[in-house]
């Protein structure tokens, strides 16, 4: 019971991090593109490091223990790329913009049209992010139930990258409507699909968690690693480059890796 409450709590905290992004927008007079770029690239560094250094390693060790070194390595590798392929298919059918939203402090040529486009950008970004956050909640819940330290590490990674996601939703809504309440609620609502994903995971696993073969968890974690790598490389880094210069992106990318590595080392001594 306590493990379940702990896992749910992690997903709720991670999901509500999008609200922090909303607050950032409301308490800033202008949108700082360098700040957005730093957030996105930092998030990518966090996600990439935990995917390769923690999640895939855990999957590999588990699958090699269950199936032997050769077969286990093959299954882990295949599951990793299945995760990438799965996200590629989902991304193909998600509503999204090919260009990153631009907010200018100068007067637009057509205010009505600009406001309409900004609002549409916010709505479409919110839909896409909400859909992406659902499996993140499922992933965090399962990881926390299996290994609390891994669950915390994944939650940290999700919290960090949910903040710029909240910004990307709240900023266009706020600048197009002038409503702080709508902007903040829009950012928060996109993160609520994470505890919903956790609820689905709990419903599916509540009667079978203790009987699931360890190899199944190994496959799940390998798939999760692929998903996180896809999100980092296909979504976070390209967006970071559109907001900031290459050296800024790389600096914060490696900073994210260092912070995640440090947190993982600390968690080793706690759990």
Question: Which residue has better confidence, 163 or 80?
Answer: 80
| The pLDDT value given to residue 68 | 92
Indicate the angle between helix axes 193-205 and 2-26, nearest 10 degrees: 170
pTM above 0.85, yes or no: no
Buried b (16+ CB within 10 A) or exposed e, 3-35: ebeebbebbbbbbbbbbbbbbbbeeeeebeeee
Q: Is the pLDDT of residue 241 over 60?
A: yes
Question: Which residue has better confidence, 150 or 175?
Answer: 150
The CA distance from 162 to 48, in Å, is 15
143-149 average pLDDT score: 84
Q: Is the pLDDT of residue 94 over 80?
A: no
| The pLDDT value given to residue 82 | 95
What would the two tokens of residue 59 be?
């999957």
| The pLDDT value given to residue 12 | 93
Whether residue 149 contacts residue 269, with contact meaning beta carbons closer than 8 Å, is answered with no
| The pLDDT value given to residue 28 | 66
| The pLDDT value given to residue 105 | 40
Lowest mean pLDDT among 98-102, 232-236, 261-265: 98-102
Tokens 């609002």 sit on residue:
119
Q: Is the pLDDT of residue 138 over 80?
A: yes
What would the two tokens of residue 248 be?
């800024």
Q: How confident is the model at residue 183 (pLDDT cuts 50, 70, 90)?
A: confident
Domain ranges of the chain: 2-100+109-270
């Amino acid at each position: 019971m306590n493990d379940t409450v702990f896992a749910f709590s992690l997903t709720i905290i991670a999901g509500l991090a999008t609200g922090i992004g909303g607050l950032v927008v409301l308490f800033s007079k202008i949108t700082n593109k360098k700040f957005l770029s730093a957030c996105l690239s930092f998030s990518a560094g966090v996600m990439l490091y935990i995917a390769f250094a923690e999640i895939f390693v855990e999957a590999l060790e588990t699958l090699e223990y269950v199936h032997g070194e050769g077969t286990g390595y093959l299954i882990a590798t295949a599951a990793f790329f299945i995760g990438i392929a799965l996200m590629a298919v989902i991304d193909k059918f998600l509503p999204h913009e090919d260009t990153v939203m631009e907010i200018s402090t100068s007067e637009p040529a057509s205010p009505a049209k600009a406001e309409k486009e900004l609002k549409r950008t916010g709505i479409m970004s919110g839909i896409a992010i909400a859909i992406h956050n659902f499996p993140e909640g499922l992933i965090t819940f399962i990881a926390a139930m299996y290994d609390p330290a891994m669950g915390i590490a994944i939650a940290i990674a999700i919290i960090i990258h949910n903040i710029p996601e909240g910004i990307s939703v709240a900023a266009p809504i706020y600048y197009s409507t002038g409503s702080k309440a709508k902007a903040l609620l829009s950012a928060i609502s996109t993160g609520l699909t994470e505890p919903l994903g956790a609820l689905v995971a709990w419903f599916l696993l509540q009667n079978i968690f203790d009987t699931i073969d360890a190899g199944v968890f190994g496959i799940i974690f390998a798939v999760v690693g692929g998903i996180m790598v896809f999100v980092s490389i296909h979504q976070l880094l390209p967006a970071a480059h559109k907001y900031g210069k290459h050296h800024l992106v790389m600096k914060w990318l490696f900073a994210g890796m260092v912070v995640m590595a440090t947190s993982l080392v600390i968690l080793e001594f706690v759990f």
